[in-house]
Amino acid sequence: MSQKQQQPLQSLIWKQEALDLLDQRLLPEDIVYLTLTTATEVWDAISSLAVRGAPAIGIAAAYGVVLGSTEQIEEQAWFNKIIDTANYLATSRPTAVNLFWALDRMKACAVRIMEQKLSLIEAKQLLEQEAILIHQEDEATNRAIGEHALTLFENDMGVLTHCNAGALATSKYGTALAPMYLALEEGIHLRIYADETRPVLQGARLTAFELQQAGADVTLICDNMAGMIMAKGLVDAVIVGTDRVAANGDVANKIGTYSVAVLAKAHNIPFYVACPLSTIDLDTPTGDKIPIELRNDNEVTEGFGKRTAPQGIKVYNPAFDITPNEYVTAIITEKGIIRAPYEQNLRQLFE
């Protein structure tokens, strides 16, 4: 049952000349902040999952652009450096569209700065302010997502989640976990089930950790138990985050999400997806066009240091899968709850 409540850890802390980043690879055992001072270090942190979760990597990349712009050089060279740094950071991971969204915002800010003919000091301040704004807006956005999502839940409901779409994946609250934090604030009891999420165990290491710290009633299960607990009637709703929603409502999220969605449909359980508008990519028409990151074999064969597969075995390790829109009961955004037809209703969000 619930534990003593603690303040959630902040995944990113901006220190002007440096970005302090909670090293999520070491959780839940060790709480260590990395101090990053260069764009290259930010690239490495994103690529190696020291920071992960779609909104968090967007925020980290925005600060990475600021860190990449600190050298004293003349105006045009400064602008070129911003664009080059943003393009470089965009190669750190391919699937979460929030990364490209945040970097596009930083590039657009640099263009505005150039048009205003400011001093380099003023230019740097404006660029830094844009990154801080991206960070701050995320918190308000997630709270709004949580408020909308909570209207779908009732006291004592069983709610299953996959991967980590919580405070650690964002600035605060998370997306899929935001209604769980708000439920705690409002005294609404939810029985939360966290899939462990093979192979990197974001569910076990991060979701179970942050919800337990917050005092939530959270139970950790292995991924292959989801069907069994649904059949037992323990799950009333599934809610997950996403790395990218295509224009037709197909959803990319952590590998295993598709299986959970199919199981939910088979058991007549609603399957909800929570995300900010910055995760919706109207330029990608369907899920099969979303680039899926393939990660290193060793995540599967020797995750966390112990070899669990024969040497030389062939491995397939996609980090994400696509859940077709027909499995998605609703997409919960900061602007409200969106239902099918997604093509039309998602587009309306941006009008």
The smaller minimum CB distance to ligand MRU, of residues 22 and 54, is found at 54
Q: Considering the complex, what minimum distance in angstroms separates the CB of residue 318 from ligand MRU?
A: 11
Look up residue 198 and give its two tokens.
Answer: 């093979």
Residue whose CB is nearest to ligand MRU in the complex, by number: 241
Cα dist from 103 to 106, 108, 167, 236, whole Å:
5, 9, 21, 38
What sign has the CA pseudo-torsion 193, 58, 20, 320? positive
Our finding on whether 97 is near ligand MRU (CB under 6 A) is no
Shortest distance, position 207 Cβ to ligand MRU, whole Å: 9
DSSP letter for 292, please.
-
Residue where the block lists tokens 């040497």: 311
93 is in an annotated binding site: yes
Going 338 to 341 to 343 to 349, the CA torsion angle's sign is: negative
* Binding range to ligand MRU, per CB under 6 A, among 12-20, 76-84, 236-244, 332-340: 236-244
Question: If binding is defined by CB under 6 A, does position 165 make contact with ligand MRU?
Answer: yes
Site for ligand MRU in 298-327 (CB under 6 A): 319
**Measured distance CA(83)–CA(90) in Å, rounded:** 11
Number of Cβ within 10 Å of residue 306's Cβ equals 7
In the annotation, is 243 catalytic? Answer: yes
53 is in an annotated binding site: yes
Binding flag, residue 175, ligand MRU (CB under 6 A): yes
Choice between 54 and 144, CB closer to ligand MRU: 54
User: Is 298 a known ligand-binding residue?
Assistant: no
- Whole-number minimum distance, CB 76 to ligand MRU, in Å? 35
Distance CA 313, CA 297 (A): 9
Look at phi and psi of residue 163 and say left if phi exceeds 0, alpha if psi is from -120 to 50, else beta.
Answer: left
- Of 292, 298, 256, which Cα lies nearest the Cα of 97? 292
Q: In whole angstroms, how close is the CB of 54 to ligand MRU at the nearest point?
A: 4
In the list 241, 249, 256, 287, the residue contacting ligand MRU (rule: CB under 6 A) is 241
Binding-site residue numbers for substrate are 52-54, 93, 202, 253-254
Residues labelled as active-site residues:
243
